[in-house]
Amino acid sequence: MKPRTRGAALVAAVLLLLPLVWALPSAAASADDAKPAVTLSQQEAAKGTEITASGTGWRPGTLLMLLLCGQSTPGQGVIGGTNSCANADGRAVTTDAKGAFSKALPVAAPPKPCPCVVHVATVTGEQAAVDTELRITGHPVAPLPEQSGTGRLSVLTAPELDGSSGILTWFGAPPSRTLVLTVGNLGSAPVKDPVFQVGTSHGVFAPRWEDRQWKGTIKPGGKAEVRLGFELSAGAHGDYQVSVRYGQKVLATQPWGVGRPWGVTLFWILLCVVVPAAVFRIGMAVVDRVRPRGAGHARRGRGEEGRARWIRPRRSVRGSAAEPSQPPQPPAEGASTPTSTTATTPLPWFTPDSAPIENRPNTPTTKGNP
């Protein structure tokens, strides 16, 4: 085979495989998005017979419960809960790896008149339920009662607090959490969009209640996971109690230990150190600027002048004392003695009349002369 022919065959094979590759993700997505469904081998059966219920789209390895219930329709569910079902003749089945099942179910007379359904619901894991209509031959039929009853919610699992604190909470931001709990409807009427009240209390203080509405419908005998968000005040810390109630009944209480916002404490410590230092620096700058400079210079000038007045005489004394470095020499014989009229500076402790004569001739005396 030529190289060009091989390349063309490879391109053709890739083009043929592309649709299959694109179809695989879509098939997986459609399998994940498939909703649980139930089909019956017969749409009408007599009491005492048996039918086969088959299902697809369920989670693999899930335990299911099959009940034949009266006073129910696929649109409104099982009115009155499992009290309307033939519980003694129910069956349990586990789905296979593909999420399918097939189970024989005896046709027993339910305690309530028809319309009737085959109710299939999960026992464990995520809640899911499917109702399929079934007509029972010979069983009385009555219109559905008006739903004048009230729903009665009860907590089925222990509540949990979901969420965590961030860096802003460390600096005093309001801490927030999400209260997660599973509730069940024990009443005879569905509960649609129930309004819960979440209360937070600290110490001996009473809870502060806030309304939180949950969107959804909880059918009689059904259950649902409820998530209610709430937050505390800014800077809150310590031991808190989180409560949730429906109507006037407290459903659950959960303790919550809130950490101290140490960032706020660090901020105040820095503030107490920085502000006094800044005030001191500003005060010193103001004092240096408004301090008078003329008086200081005048005092400095008078001091220097006084020091000069007392120092000058000492300098003159030192100078006059240093002038006669050599003793005076007697004049030579026959030479005329020049008349010296050098003026002397009197010392401060002598008057001009009493000052000693410095240029007195020092004539040598001969031995024997008086």
What does the DSSP 8-state code read for residue 64? E
**Residue 304 — very low, low, confident or very high, per pLDDT cuts 50/70/90?**
low
Instruction: Categorize the per-residue pLDDT at 18 as very low, low, confident or very high, splitting at 50, 70 and 90.
Output: very low
Which carries the bigger pLDDT value, residue 364 or residue 134? Answer: 134
What's the pTM value of the predicted model, to 2 decimals? 0.43
* CA nearest to 248, candidates 206, 197, 207: 197
Per residue in 57-82, pLDDT (tens digit) is 999 999 999 999 998 888 777 877 78
Query: What is the per-residue burial (b if ≥16 Cβ within 10 Å, else e) of 58-88?
Result: beeebebbbbbbbbbeeebbbbbbbbbbbee
What band does 208 get if pLDDT is binned at 50, 70 and 90?
confident
How far, CA to CA in Å, does 76 sit from each of 43, 184, 190?
19, 17, 9
- Note the pLDDT of residue 117: 94
pLDDT above 70 coverage of the chain, percent: 68
